[in-house]
Homo-oligomer: A and B are copies of this chain.
Amino acid sequence: MGSIAVESSASSPAHHARLLSRQNHITNTAGLAPGYLQANLLILPSKHAQDFHNLCLRNPVSCPLLGITLNGDPHSVRPKGCIKSADFDIRTDFPAYRVYKNGKFVKNRRDLTDVWTSDYVGFLIGCSFSFEDALAAAGLQPRHQKTGTIVAMYRSNIPLLPAGVFTGGKCIVSMRPYKPEDIERVREVTRPFLSTHGEPVAWGWDGAKELGIENIGSPDFGEPQVFEDGEIPVFWACGVTPQMAVESAGDKLDGLVFSHEPGNMLVTDWTIDDLERLKGSI
């Protein structure tokens, strides 16, 4: 049926995943097309694009850039390696989207075909799904994968360094419990993933306190995680941060802003072999 037709025309597992997402066959991209980097999304009117671009460049741990649309074209992304299939549409190839007005969430949408104009710029931002595969492969599977829950996320007091209209934001962090003796290994495994949040930003109960997180059992997003004996929290920067930056900018933002629906990412054509070249120019 649908999935067979999709399979035959796809140029890669990533392209296949994008086609499934376009046809709304899936509602969660976790585990899809292993080895390919998945991306968060933010789409802004061009008048705010430069400020948001600067925000990403100034805060690459929480907002690591994987690609940007080109010349208002929903089918073109630079750099070229990000999306290799000619058949691509940023307005449909995420399973689900969110709409924001004046920094406030308004509603969900299945696609953005009728609201996109050539004045919009889309930003693809690295996602922690990428390093979770590596943790699992190293025998350090994240707890939420084992328990089938959504990772716990918290508002931290790490400032999002301001850029233009984007002021007053804070980093969102995701949390995975680990044993103290595994921390250095966990840091090592996730360290190369600089473009998808990289190594943890803090760990341990002191780390939680430094981030301003008082009640680990009450995450601001996602679900509480079960701690086993002696485990401590380990925190990574989280791709929900750009959405918080939009909320902080509030009515300084003219026009509608769009994001992906959390968990419903874009599977890009970047692979873990591209991590080194995505690190930065110097």
Whether the Cβ atoms of A200 and B61 lie closer than 8 Å is: no
Whether the Cβ atoms of A210 and B61 lie closer than 8 Å is: no
Whether the Cβ atoms of B280 and A162 lie closer than 8 Å is: no
Of A65-73, A89-97, A128-136, the one contacting chain B is A65-73
- The count of chain A contact residues (Cβ–Cβ below 8 Å) is 33
Is A198's CB within 8 Å of the partner chain B?
A: yes
Q: What's the number of copies of this chain in the assembled complex? A: 2
Whether the Cβ atoms of B280 and A65 lie closer than 8 Å is: yes
Whether the Cβ atoms of B162 and A159 lie closer than 8 Å is: no
Q: Which residues of B contact A191 (CB under 8 A)?
A: 54, 163-164
- Tell me, rounded to whole Å, the shortest Cβ–Cβ distance linking A280 to chain B: 5
* Binary contact track A253-282/B, C-beta < 8 Å → 1, others 0: 000000000000000000000000111111
Q: CA–CA, A182 to B163, complex, Å?
A: 17
- Tell me, rounded to whole Å, the shortest Cβ–Cβ distance linking A2 to chain B: 34
Whether the Cβ atoms of A194 and B162 lie closer than 8 Å is: no
Whether the Cβ atoms of B199 and A163 lie closer than 8 Å is: yes
Is A158's CB within 8 Å of the partner chain B?
A: yes
Question: Which residue of chain B is the closest to A78 with respect to CB atoms?
Answer: B282
Is A79's CB within 8 Å of the partner chain B?
A: yes
Is A60's CB within 8 Å of the partner chain B?
A: yes
Is A161's CB within 8 Å of the partner chain B?
A: yes
Is A179's CB within 8 Å of the partner chain B?
A: no
Is A144's CB within 8 Å of the partner chain B?
A: no
Given pairs A161-B237, A163-B191, 18 additional interface contacts (CB within 8 A): A54-B199, A57-B60, A57-B279, A60-B60, A60-B280, A66-B282, A68-B282, A79-B281, A158-B158, A158-B159, A159-B202, A159-B210, A161-B201, A162-B200, A277-B281, A278-B281, A280-B280, A281-B281
